Structure 1
Amino acid sequence: MSLTPTTSASSQSAKMKKDESFLGRLGGTLVRKKKSKEVSNLNEEGKIAINAPMLPPGSDIHPEDTLLEENAERIMLDPTSRENLKFKDLLKVLIDWINSELEEERIIVKDLEEDCYDGQVLQKLFEKLSDRKLNVAEVTQSEIGQKQKLQTVLEAVNELLRPHGWSVEWSVDSIHSKNLVAIVSLLVALAMHFQAPIRLPEHVSVQIVIVKKREGILQTAVVTKELTSTTEMMMGRFERDAFDTLMDHAPDKLNVVKTSLITFVNKHLNKLNLEVTELESQFADGVYLILLMGLLEDYFVPLYNFFLTPESFEQKVHNVTFAFELMQDGGLKKPKARPEDVVNLNLKSTLRVLYNLFTNYKNSE
């Protein structure tokens, strides 16, 4: 009976030694794997360190951005440009516009990179703007399905825009890889082509970093990319007139023109005890334009035809559009300006509209 505990103790001791031996071997394996990983990380850091001096200062290049195949390239937005206030303003205007257009679809965009890359938002936006249904799957989770949808959407977009002189600066791969510059370029082109009721900030440019691999070495370049120019250039209005010349070459004479127009409109608006001192702001909601047309043509405009105290952007656009219709009913040519431009306080557009009235009614009592 006394042998049993001894045997049991010996067995337990042998088992412990076996366990220790196993843990030792396991520990050695883990240590070797850890060291191997550390060596791999050091090698990668070494590659980055070698290539780093070739990168432009301030560029936030991630390790994965340096892992390029031979002759491949990657395009990235310089982080300093991402913080540019005008660029941020452009992003906000585009996001607000998309959300306004797709409100009925219950789609809310918060981030252009994260919300546009899979083609779903771009599909719905294009269909709404073009009033055309695309033959694509409604929901696509796989990468292949997303790229197929993007391919269909971009083919339709390019087919529409190319004949009108738009250069295609986006692709399936650039959109799907969340290239913000490509996404913004596409959205700006759509907004301008469809004359979106928004005012894009003018002269927005960003710095993009182009990284290429040649003979195993990274080559980088920083390029300035213009995303927006002037509103008129983006709208394709290349025909210059007297106001372009005036504002570009004789801004000192601008006040003379404004004074003449203010005198003209007040001559008529004073009959209703109204007075204008700021042309671009006081005509922006369309009310004074409508009342002025009624005075010039000698008729009363029923108040139910327009918003006397417009509050929203849409109500103001309605008023200015209605004023333009009254002008055309009076035999005037369709104004060159868009109603949205007047509402957005575009001085040149407002001056064009008022000058057109001045030349036709300057002798009216």
Structure 2
Amino acid sequence: SPNRGAHVSHDAEPASLPCSLAKMKKDESFLGRLGGTLARKKKSKEVSDLHEEGKNAINAPMLPTGVDIHPEDTLLEENTERIMLDPTSRENLKFKDLLKVLIDWINSELEEDRIIVKDLEEDCYDGQVLQKLFEKLSGRKLNVAEVTQSEIGQKQKLQTVLEAVNELLRPHGWTIEWSVDSIHSKNLVAILYLLVALAMHFQAPIRLPEHVSVQVVVVKKREGILQTAVVTKQLTSTTENSSFFKTERDAFDTLLDHAPDKLNVVKTSLITFVNKHLNKLNLEVTELESQFADGVYLILLMGLLEDYFVPLYNFYLTPESFEQKVHNVSFAFELMQDGGLKKPKARPEDVVNLNLKSTLRVLYNLFTNYKNSE
């Protein structure tokens, strides 16, 4: 299995040679007394084992220190390579957080299909989950077989899915860091690159941990010699203004980049609009970025605009944690959609993180729809 590089193997250690030689001599003397074919077969096998052990011993010093390589991972064809995740990277807390966020997101998206993902390597390699996820996100049905057990069938499905993904992402500047072979061989790094790209492109309502990097061991065979290197792979950058975050530019991008002098005019208009309604509850806003970040004013504002009372048990009136604030903003977004508005382009996490552009987008959307409301 290609993903067994994390398993411990001491077969490749040079120190194991003397023990093997001693064992072989002991067995030879014992079997020599028995005589016959059995002894010759045993000796032949041990010579073969010793030869393989010797090859691993020669290659072992070239492997990066502290990385355990399974013998199967060194048995490569000429001019081929194998990429393995460094075991220490698996224990990184931000890496574990990234796995959890992506798994929860997939399960949320595919809940109606009754698909439950527990392990990204084991559940994504055959293309079934990736197919369903892409179809749900893109609203596009792919022409593939529903269930494929054979390796050929799985790779054909992956080929169709990845072609559709690449066709969608490449024009937006994404670097394709995955392939049919890497996904099917359960290369976790390739799977994560793909899922992060999809989450970012479709603006998934999740908060990806920032600056997640991992170490991978790249093993190549050139002219019969194993060549290895440890490479750092960056899976996520910052949420905003990163090569990972591709979104369509809108009026607020232009406003902040090219006409910052007009920003205060927009802010003043929005503050006047929200205070016209919040004043009914003796509330007043002076700072757009901070005062909407916990979601409370957004929820109350929606109740005022749609003329209903929001029960206090539906949200946190005095949220303390990041999660409680995200809950509030997400709930406000649900109320907006219930009122007939489109799903906000901003993510709840960005509003909570005091991202001015995201907050402006949400409030401007309310302004354009309710500016004539009394």
Q: TM-score, normalised by structure 1?
A: 0.68
- SS of aligned partner of 2:221: strand
- Report the Cα offset of residue 164 of structure 1: 1.1
What is the rounded CA distance, in whole Å, between the counterparts of 1:257 and 1:44 in structure 2?
72
CA RMSD, aligned part only? Answer: 10.6
What is the rounded CA distance, in whole Å, between the counterparts of 1:34 and 1:283 in structure 2?
77
Cα offsets for 1:51-103 (capped at 9, x unmatched): 11111111121111111122211111111111111111101111111111111
Query: Identity of paired residues, percent?
Result: 92
Mean Cα deviation higher: 251-260 or 322-331: 251-260
Aligned CA distance change for structure 1 residues 151 and 104 (closer, same or farther; 3 Å): same
What is the rounded CA distance, in whole Å, between the counterparts of 1:21 and 1:331 in structure 2?
87
- Report the Cα offset of residue 363 of structure 1: 18
Residue number among 232, 253, 256 corresponding to 1:247 in the alignment: 256
Aligned CA distance change for structure 1 residues 359 and 78 (closer, same or farther; 3 Å): same
Aligned CA distance change for structure 1 residues 292 and 9 (closer, same or farther; 3 Å): closer
Aligned CA distance change for structure 1 residues 32 and 252 (closer, same or farther; 3 Å): farther
Aligned CA distance change for structure 1 residues 70 and 160 (closer, same or farther; 3 Å): same
Q: Is the 8 A contact 1:77 1:208 kept in 2?
A: yes
Cα offsets for 1:154-198 (capped at 9, x unmatched): 111111111111111100000011100000000001111111111
What is the rounded CA distance, in whole Å, between the counterparts of 2:179 and 2:18 in structure 1?
73
Cα offsets for 1:288-341 (capped at 9, x unmatched): 124357779999999999998999999988974796799999999998743453
Mean Cα deviation higher: 268-277 or 42-51: 268-277
What is the rounded CA distance, in whole Å, between the counterparts of 2:22 and 2:355 in structure 1?
91
Q: Is the 8 A contact 2:28 2:43 kept in 1?
A: no
Larger of the two Rg values belongs to structure: 1
Aligned CA distance change for structure 1 residues 18 and 198 (closer, same or farther; 3 Å): closer
Q: Is the 8 A contact 1:113 1:178 kept in 2?
A: yes
What is the rounded CA distance, in whole Å, between the counterparts of 2:32 and 2:149 in structure 1?
46
Cα offsets for 1:112-131 (capped at 9, x unmatched): 11111111111111111111
- Report the Cα offset of residue 107 of structure 1: 1.1
- Report the Cα offset of residue 352 of structure 1: 8.1
Cα offsets for 1:107-150 (capped at 9, x unmatched): 11111111111111111111111111111111111111111111
Give 1:235's aligned residue: none
What is the rounded CA distance, in whole Å, between the counterparts of 1:259 and 1:128 in structure 2?
39
What runs of 5+ residues in structure 1 fail to find an aligned partner? 233-238
What runs of 5+ residues in structure 2 fail to find an aligned partner? 1-10, 241-247
Aligned CA distance change for structure 1 residues 19 and 110 (closer, same or farther; 3 Å): closer
Q: TM-score, normalised by structure 2?
A: 0.67
- Report the Cα offset of residue 224 of structure 1: 1.0
Aligned CA distance change for structure 1 residues 90 and 278 (closer, same or farther; 3 Å): farther
Q: Is the 8 A contact 1:262 1:276 kept in 2?
A: yes
Aligned CA distance change for structure 1 residues 245 and 229 (closer, same or farther; 3 Å): farther
Q: How many positions carry a matched residue from both structures?
A: 357
What is the rounded CA distance, in whole Å, between the counterparts of 2:23 and 2:51 in structure 1?
42
What is the rounded CA distance, in whole Å, between the counterparts of 1:296 and 1:240 in structure 2?
28
Aligned CA distance change for structure 1 residues 206 and 255 (closer, same or farther; 3 Å): farther
Give 1:88's aligned residue: 96
What is the rounded CA distance, in whole Å, between the counterparts of 1:101 and 1:334 in structure 2?
15
What is the rounded CA distance, in whole Å, between the counterparts of 2:204 and 2:57 in structure 1?
47
Q: Is the 8 A contact 1:208 1:223 kept in 2?
A: yes
What is the rounded CA distance, in whole Å, between the counterparts of 1:9 and 1:192 in structure 2?
51
Give 2:156's aligned residue: 148
Q: Is the 8 A contact 2:12 2:57 kept in 1?
A: no
What is the rounded CA distance, in whole Å, between the counterparts of 2:56 and 2:372 in structure 1?
75
- Report the Cα offset of residue 281 of structure 1: 8.9
What is the rounded CA distance, in whole Å, between the counterparts of 1:339 and 1:74 in structure 2?
39
- SS of aligned partner of 1:4: coil
Q: Is the 8 A contact 2:20 2:50 kept in 1?
A: no
- SS of aligned partner of 1:223: strand
What is the rounded CA distance, in whole Å, between the counterparts of 2:133 and 2:237 in structure 1?
23
Q: Is the 8 A contact 1:199 1:344 kept in 2?
A: no
Aligned CA distance change for structure 1 residues 336 and 154 (closer, same or farther; 3 Å): closer
Cα offsets for 1:199-237 (capped at 9, x unmatched): 1101111111111112221111111111101112xxxxx
What is the rounded CA distance, in whole Å, between the counterparts of 1:344 and 1:48 in structure 2?
51
- Report the Cα offset of residue 287 of structure 1: 3.4
Aligned CA distance change for structure 1 residues 39 and 251 (closer, same or farther; 3 Å): farther
Q: Is the 8 A contact 2:12 2:60 kept in 1?
A: no
- Report the Cα offset of residue 247 of structure 1: 14
- Report the Cα offset of residue 33 of structure 1: 3.6
Aligned CA distance change for structure 1 residues 326 and 170 (closer, same or farther; 3 Å): closer
Aligned CA distance change for structure 1 residues 99 and 294 (closer, same or farther; 3 Å): closer
- SS of aligned partner of 1:69: coil
Aligned CA distance change for structure 1 residues 60 and 355 (closer, same or farther; 3 Å): farther
- Report the Cα offset of residue 36 of structure 1: 3.0
Give 2:312's aligned residue: 303
Aligned CA distance change for structure 1 residues 103 and 353 (closer, same or farther; 3 Å): closer
1:207 aligned onto 2:207? no
